[in-house]
Amino acid sequence: MSTQKSAKITFSDGTPAMDLPIHQGTMGPDVIDIRKIYGATGKFTFDPGFLSTASCESKITYIDGDKGELLYRGYPIEQLAVHCDYLETCYLLLNGELPTQDQRTDFEQRVMRHTMVHEQMNRFFTGFRRDAHPMAVLVGCVGALSAFYHDSLDIQNPEHRFISAIRLLAKMPTLVAMAYKYHVGQPFMYPQNNLSYSANFMRMVFGTPCEEYQVNDVLVRALDRIMILHADHEQNASTSTVRLAGSSGANPFACIAAGIATLWGPAHGGANEACLFMLDDIQRQGGIEKIGNFISKVKDKDSGVKLMGFGHRVYKNYDPRAKLMRETCYEVLDELGLHDDPLFKLAMKLEQIALEDDYFVQRKLYPNVDYYSGIVQRALGFPTEMFTCVFALARTVGWIAQWGEMIAEPDQKIGRPRQLFTGSTPREVKPIAQR
């Protein structure tokens, strides 16, 4: 980053003015460096929700919300989704460059050699009710991985960080598939390492020991692309959680479990599940004819109803992933002979109506990655409660890349925000008889 410019901050309360350095990145907004403000003025800055705050310097993912642009290590998501597969994208996010053929082969072999989980992991599942939400199971089981790998928990050791990254990438598909199998009461399927990463995952989810699983290359490619679209996304809520957890020196498995917990929220990765429930609801109430009623409810602030899968903190234009997700959705439905899928038609009509409605236009609310994700995942055979688990699986590489970047930061410190305190001033405790 370069620092030629500065900002002057003056105070009306007599606090001496101060100059703050402005750092310029390679793309995107400049940042005002406020690190010395508290020491110089005794004042904190205030930015709940971090609407105007850059929490770190990063080289991994860049989003231009106004243009609707998303780059992983400088490569547009539209190109990666067409020319690469998910493992290549993982290599890129982790290493900063796309792999050569040899690097890709070596990386894939390393990952596919770690796909099994410790056999004792199976016992964690039986402690959950069968109808437990798979995300609850996933949070628990990923956190429990730290109980098995005492050989690689020194996060200052790059080799430990590397093997932990490989283990997490390799075991997430297995754990997500196990969470699903436990949920539906089917036996766990062991990984089959001669399959591709995504084919192996689909077989562990949809295959059974009773018959040979038939890999459908079109559907596998669609899932692989969906995972590319979800792989990383700058400093979103779950990534910020992983960074903050990692800043305390917590082990990578615990940090990723914290990221999964954060992603679960309906305002974040849980939106794909919430969006499908929303579409199902409208469909049950009459479908396309009832879109007007629904939109009226969304506009009524007191209703608390949101158009799930719409809006984004950064994108004030079309989320480029939503466009690619809609195309993938169409390909999958076409492959499965479901082009008349009523929910897909409903979703496209709802999108069209919303994009022409002033309420959404004025607030720059566009479809985000979660809007079509549920429809295509349902068509692939995933039950609604599994959607966010698939999102967590895909985002694991982004969390690991961002965590690794944070750990390698030369002046990395534990994250410890302050507050604006508006509670009680000091007071005396009275004996209970006098309260």
Instruction: Name the residues annotated as catalytic.
Output: 312, 370
The binder of ligand SDX chosen from 363, 381, 408, 417 (CB under 6 A): 363
> By CB under 6 A, is residue 323 in contact with ligand SDX?
no
Helix, strand or coil for residue 20?
A: strand
Distant-in-sequence contacts of 425-428, Cβ < 8 A, 24+ apart: none
Nearest residue to ligand SDX by CB is 311
> By CB under 6 A, is residue 298 in contact with ligand SDX?
yes
Residue span binding ligand SDX (CB under 6 A) among the ranges 52-60, 145-153, 268-276, 278-286? 268-276
Q: Which amino acid is at 277?
A: F
Q: Which amino acid is at 230?
A: H
> By CB under 6 A, is residue 312 in contact with ligand SDX?
yes
The binder of ligand SDX chosen from 40, 82, 184, 267 (CB under 6 A): 267
Integer CA distances (angstroms), 349 to 109, 247, 290, 337, in order = 44, 45, 11, 20
The binder of ligand SDX chosen from 310, 366, 387, 403 (CB under 6 A): 310
The binder of ligand SDX chosen from 87, 307, 329, 392 (CB under 6 A): 307
The binder of ligand SDX chosen from 104, 110, 290, 313 (CB under 6 A): 313
The binder of ligand SDX chosen from 168, 205, 369, 397 (CB under 6 A): 369
Q: Cα–Cα distance between 395 and 161 in angstroms, integer? A: 17
**Which of 170, 164, 80, 71 shows the shortest CA–CA distance to 116?**
170
- DSSP element (H, E) containing 135: helix 134-144
The binder of ligand SDX chosen from 146, 240, 368, 373 (CB under 6 A): 368
The binder of ligand SDX chosen from 134, 259, 309, 374 (CB under 6 A): 309
- Is 32 exposed, middle or buried (CB count within 10 Å of its CB: 0-12, 13-18, 19+)? middle
**Which of 207, 261, 226 shows the shortest CA–CA distance to 86?**
226
| Residue whose tokens read 């849980």 | 270
> By CB under 6 A, is residue 261 in contact with ligand SDX?
no
> By CB under 6 A, is residue 306 in contact with ligand SDX?
yes
Residue span binding ligand SDX (CB under 6 A) among the ranges 81-89, 135-143, 204-212, 301-309? 301-309
| Total binding residues toward ligand SDX, as defined by CB under 6 A | 21
Please say which residue, 200 or 239, places its beta carbon nearer to ligand SDX.
239
> By CB under 6 A, is residue 308 in contact with ligand SDX?
yes
Q: How far is the CB of 254 from ligand SDX (least distance, A)?
A: 20
Distant-in-sequence contacts of 22-30, Cβ < 8 A, 24+ apart: 25/1, 25/57, 27/62, 27/64, 28/62, 28/64, 29/54, 30/5
Tokens describing residue 55: 């929490």
Please say which residue, 133 or 181, places its beta carbon nearer to ligand SDX.
133
Residue length of the chain: 435
Q: How far is the CB of 233 from ligand SDX (least distance, A)?
A: 3
Q: Cα–Cα distance between 182 and 128 in angstroms, integer? A: 9
Rounded to the nearest 5 percent, the helix, strand and coil shares of the chain are 55, 5, 40
Beta bridge partners of 71: 62, 76
> By CB under 6 A, is residue 311 in contact with ligand SDX?
yes
Please say which residue, 25 or 266, places its beta carbon nearer to ligand SDX.
266
Q: Cα–Cα distance between 52 and 344 in angstroms, integer? A: 36
Q: Cα–Cα distance between 128 and 345 in angstroms, integer? A: 37
The binder of ligand SDX chosen from 73, 161, 203, 233 (CB under 6 A): 233
Tokens describing residue 47: 């930015």
Residue span binding ligand SDX (CB under 6 A) among the ranges 156-164, 241-249, 266-274, 382-390? 266-274
Residue span binding ligand SDX (CB under 6 A) among the ranges 18-26, 162-170, 216-224, 304-312? 304-312
Please say which residue, 112 or 298, places its beta carbon nearer to ligand SDX.
298
Q: How far is the CB of 74 from ligand SDX (least distance, A)?
A: 18
> By CB under 6 A, is residue 365 in contact with ligand SDX?
yes
Find out whether 243 and 55 touch, Cβ atoms under 8 Å: yes
* Residues of this chain that bind ligand SDX (CB under 6 A): 233, 236, 267-269, 271, 298, 306-314, 363, 365, 368-370
